[in-house]
C-alpha cells in the first residue's frame, strides 16, 4: 500500500478540524450507523469548549490503495511549538484559508516554517459558501504571502481547490456542485498526485519523537515518523538526546498505528509510517529513538524561545486547601515538569524559596490553558501577572523585548480609537487598508508587554466587533515604560462572609467583584476603587437592628451585579503586587502580601529604591 503524510495548516477557526471530520467520514473511517461527536479530533474538554485545537493529533484514512496519515495542527500562535515539531513528520501540507478572511497571522507563521523545510503546499479555499466570500482575491493574497516568505518557484506553483468542509465538498472552481453531487474526492486525488511519498533513508531503525503523552496502561507513548528501518514489538532500542548522549536503553512494549480515529496495535512498522511506541521511561520530544547500533541522532527543528513568563506558587491564602486536594509544592512541581516534557515551548525554573516556579511559554493563552487544566485536576495555585521574557544583546549590551505582529479587523468607525490606544502602548502601525464591508485591517508591531490585558479593552472600545490576531515577530530594543492600570483596588480588612448591606454601602467606592455570602479574608481584593489608590474596606459590617419598623428601613437591598472575572481577564487585570488565587471552584484576586503592615513596609522600600 502506498503512503502519504500530510499536515493541515490554517489559522484558528478556518475549519481544519471540520475538514478532518469530513475526510474521515468520506473515506469510510466511521460505520454508517456510528455516532461520532462533531469535531472528533478535538478530544480535550477545553478544546471543545473554546472551539480551538490545542494539541496536535494524528489520524489516518485509506483512499483507494493509499494510506493517508493526516496531522491536525493547532491554529493558535501560542501553541506554535506543537506545529514546529509536527512538520518534521509530514511530506506535504494542505493550507486551508477562509474565503472571506484570507491568510491570517498564524497561517503565515506555520506556512513560513513549512516552506522553509521544503514542503509543497496544496491551497484549499474553505467556506466559499459564506455571503462575504472573495475567493479570487484570497488566492492573490496567498500568492503574495508565499512570495513574501521566499517560496521557491515550485512551491509558488501550488494547486488550488475551493469548497466548504461543513457541506462536505471540494472542487476546482468556487461554484457549489448540484445537491448531493459534491465530495472530497478532488482533494484525496490531489494528495495522491501532488504530495511525495515519504523519503526513506537507508539503515537501521530511527524515529524522532514528536508528540508525547501519558497512558495509564502503557506508560509514556511517543509518536513520530519512522525515518529508516523497521520495528517490531519487544525489539531492543535506545534513546539519544539532540547532542547524541545516551538517555536510556530498553525494549518496545507496544507499537500503535493510526487507523481512522482509533489507534491499533500492530506487529510491524516500516520506514515512512507515523506510529506511536510505548515501553521507554525517559525518552521525550525531540529525542531520537533508534536501534542499538545507531550513534548519530536525527536533527530536530529549533523551537522559537518563550516570550511570556508567570510565577506559579503554592496557595498560601487562609482558604487554602478548602476546595482542592493538590496543594503542596512537590505535586505542583511534578505536574509542571510533566507538562514541560510534552511541550517543548514551555520552560520551568525553580526559585530560591522552593514554593514557587517560574513558567515561561509562548503567550498568555498557552499559560492560561495550563492553569485551567491544572485547576480541573484539583490543583490550588497562586499565579502572578504575566511578564515578558527580556533578553540582552551581548554586542551592544542593549535590553531587548519581544515584539508581536498584531492584525486587527475592525469597523471603520472604531479604527481611530484602536490606533490611539495601541500607540499609547508603544505600538507602530505598519499597514492600514480596507478589508471589505466597511471594515479596516490594521497591522501593528507592538511590544508583548503592551498587549497583556488589551483584548478586553479592545472589545469594549469597538463594541465587540473587532477581531485581533497576534504573532511573535522578533526581539527589538526595549521601548520604555508603559501605562499601567489606572484604578486602585478595594481590599477586605477582615475574614468572614460578605454581607449585602456592607456591599450596598460600598457601591459608591467602586464596582464589586464578590457577592453576598462569599468567603473573604484579609488582603483579598473585593472590588475596583474609583480612584488611583488602594482602599481597605469592611465587607462584613451588617445593618444595625432596632425595634422600630418603617417602610424605608425594611426595603430589600438592591445590589449592582458584580464584575465577573474569568481566568484570562483576571491575569491581565492584576498588578505586579497582586496574585490570582486559582482553585477548582473559585478564582479570587488578592494582594501578594496579605498583611497591611507588610504592604506598607514593602511600598516604603520600593519608594526608597526608586529615590536611590
Going by the annotation, the residues of the binding site are 13-18, 126-129
Contacts of 450-455 with CB under 8 Å at 24 or more apart are: 450/422, 450/425, 450/426, 450/482, 451/404, 451/406, 451/425, 452/308, 452/364, 452/385, 452/386, 452/388, 452/572, 453/572, 453/573, 454/421, 454/422, 454/425, 454/572, 455/568, 455/572
What is the CB-side half-sphere exposure of residue 565 using CA atoms within 13 A?
24
What is the dihedral angle through the alpha carbons of 440, 446, 448, 450, rounded to the nearest 10 degrees? -90
Report the distance separating Cα 590 and Cα 587, nearest Å.
Answer: 10
Report the distance separating Cα 139 and Cα 97, nearest Å.
Answer: 9
- Beta-carbon contacts of residue 91 (< 8 Å; ≥ 6 apart): 4, 5, 6, 119, 195, 196, 197, 198, 199
Buried b (16+ CB within 10 A) or exposed e, 156-184: eebebbbbbbeebbbbeebebeeeeebbb
**Which residues are part of a known binding site for GTP?**
13-18, 126-129
User: What are residue 544's phi and psi, to 5 degrees?
Assistant: -70, 130
- Judge contact between 370 and 347, C-beta under 8 A: no
- Judge contact between 592 and 521, C-beta under 8 A: no
- Judge contact between 111 and 121, C-beta under 8 A: yes
Report the distance separating Cα 337 and Cα 331, nearest Å.
Answer: 10
Report the distance separating Cα 290 and Cα 205, nearest Å.
Answer: 5
**Pairing relation of β-strands 524-528 and 587-591?**
antiparallel
Element (H, E) at 524: strand 524-528
Contacts of 515-520 with CB under 8 Å at 24 or more apart are: 515/559, 515/562, 516/559, 519/319, 519/495, 520/492, 520/494, 520/495, 520/496
Amino acid at each position: 500500500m502506498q503512503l502519504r503524510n500530510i499536515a493541515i495548516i490554517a489559522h484558528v477557526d478556518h475549519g481544519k478540524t471540520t475538514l478532518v471530520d469530513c475526510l474521515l467520514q468520506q473515506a469510510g473511517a466511521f460505520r454508517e450507523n456510528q455516532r461520532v461527536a462533531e469535531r472528533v479530533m478535538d478530544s480535550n474538554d477545553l478544546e471543545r469548549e473554546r472551539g480551538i485545537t490545542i494539541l496536535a493529533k494524528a489520524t489516518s484514512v485509506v483512499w483507494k490503495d493509499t494510506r493517508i496519515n493526516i496531522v491536525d495542527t493547532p491554529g493558535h500562535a501560542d501553541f506554535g511549538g506543537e506545529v514546529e515539531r509536527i512538520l518534521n513528520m509530514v511530506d506535504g501540507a494542505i493550507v486551508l484559508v477562509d474565503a472571506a478572511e484570507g491568510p491570517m497571522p498564524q497561517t503565515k507563521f506555520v506556512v513560513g516554517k513549512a516552506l522553509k523545510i521544503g514542503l509543497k503546499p496544496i491551497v484549499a479555499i474553505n467556506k466559499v459558501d459564506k455571503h462575504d466570500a472573495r475567493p479570487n482575491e484570497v488566492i492573490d493574497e496567498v500568492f503574495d504571502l508565499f512570495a513574501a516568505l521566499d517560496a521557491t518557484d515550485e512551491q509558488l506553483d501550488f494547486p488550488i481547490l475551493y469548497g466548504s468542509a461543513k457541506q462536505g465538498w471540494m472542487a476546482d472552481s468556487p461554484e457549489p456542485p448540484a445537491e448531493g453531487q459534491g465530495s472530497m474526492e478532488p482533494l484525496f486525488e490531489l494528495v495522491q498526485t501532488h504530495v511525495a511519498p515519504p523519503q526513506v533513508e537507508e539503515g537501521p531503525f530511527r524515529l524522532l519523537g514528536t508528540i508525547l503523552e501519558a497512558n495509564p496502561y502503557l506508560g509514556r507513548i511517543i509518536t513520530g515518523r519512522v525515518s529508516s528501518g523497521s520495528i517490531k514489538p519487544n525489539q531492543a532500542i535506545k534513546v539519544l538526546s539532540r547532542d547524541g548522549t545516551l538517555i536510556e536503553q530498553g525494549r518496545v512494549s507496544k507499537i500503535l498505528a493510526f487507523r481512522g480515529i482509533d489507534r491499533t496495535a500492530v506487529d510491524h512498522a516500516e520506514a515512512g509510517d507515523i506510529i506511536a511506541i510505548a515501553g521507554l521511561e525517559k525518552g521525550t520530544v525531540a529525542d531520537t529513538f533508534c536501534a542499538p547500533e545507531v550513534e548519530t541522532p536525527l536533527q530536530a527543528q529549533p523551537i522559537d524561545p518563550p516570550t511570556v513568563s508567570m510565577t506559579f506558587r503554592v496557595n498560601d491564602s487562609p482558604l487554602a486547601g478548602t476546595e482542592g486536594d493538590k496543594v503542596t509544592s512537590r505535586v505542583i512541581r511534578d505536574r509542571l515538569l510533566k507538562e514541560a516534557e510534552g511541550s517543548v515551548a514551555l520552560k520551568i525554573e525553580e526559585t530560591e524559596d522552593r514554593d514557587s516556579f517560574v513558567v515561561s511559554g509562548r503567550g498568555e493563552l498557552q499559560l492560561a490553558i495550563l492553569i485551567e487544566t491544572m485547576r480541573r485536576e484539583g490543583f490550588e495555585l497562586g499565579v502572578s501577572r504575566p511578564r515578558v521574557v527580556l533578553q540582552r544583546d551581548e554586542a551592544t549590551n542593549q535590553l531587548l523585548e519581544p515584539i508581536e505582529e498584531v492584525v486587527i479587523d475592525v469597523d471603520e468607525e472604531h479604527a481611530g480609537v484602536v490606533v490611539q490606544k495601541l500607540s499609547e502602548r508603544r505600538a507602530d502601525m505598519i499597514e492600514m487598508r480596507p478589508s471589505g464591508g466597511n471594515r479596516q485591517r490594521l497591522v501593528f508591531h507592538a511590544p508583548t508587554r503592551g498587549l497583556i490585558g488589551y483584548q478586553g479593552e479592545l472589545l469594549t472600545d469597538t463594541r465587540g466587533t473587532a477581531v485581533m490576531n497576534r504573532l511573535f515577530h522578533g526581539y527589538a530594543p526595549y521601548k520604555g515604560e508603559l501605562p499601567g492600570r489606572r484604578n486602585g483596588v478595594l481590599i477586605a480588612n477582615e475574614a468572614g462572609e460578605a454581607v449585602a448591606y456592607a456591599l450596598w454601602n460600598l457601591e459608591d467606592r467602586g464596582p464589586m467583584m464578590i457577592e453576598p455570602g462569599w468567603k473573604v479574608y484579609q488582603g483579598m481584593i473585593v472590588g475596583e476603587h474609583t480612584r488611583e489608590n488602594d482602599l481597605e474596606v469592611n465587607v462584613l459590617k451588617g445593618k444595625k437592628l432596632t425595634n422600630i419598623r418603617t417602610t424605608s428601613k425594611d426595603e430589600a437591598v438592591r445590589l449592582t451585579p458584580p464584575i465577573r472575572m474569568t481566568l484570562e481577564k483576571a491575569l491581565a487585570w492584576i498588578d505586579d503586587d497582586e496574585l490570582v488565587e486559582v482553585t477548582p471552584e473559585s478564582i479570587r484576586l488578592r494582594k501578594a502580601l496579605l498583611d497591611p503592615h507588610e504592604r506598607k513596609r514593602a511600598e516604603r522600600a520600593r519608594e526608597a529604591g526608586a529615590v536611590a
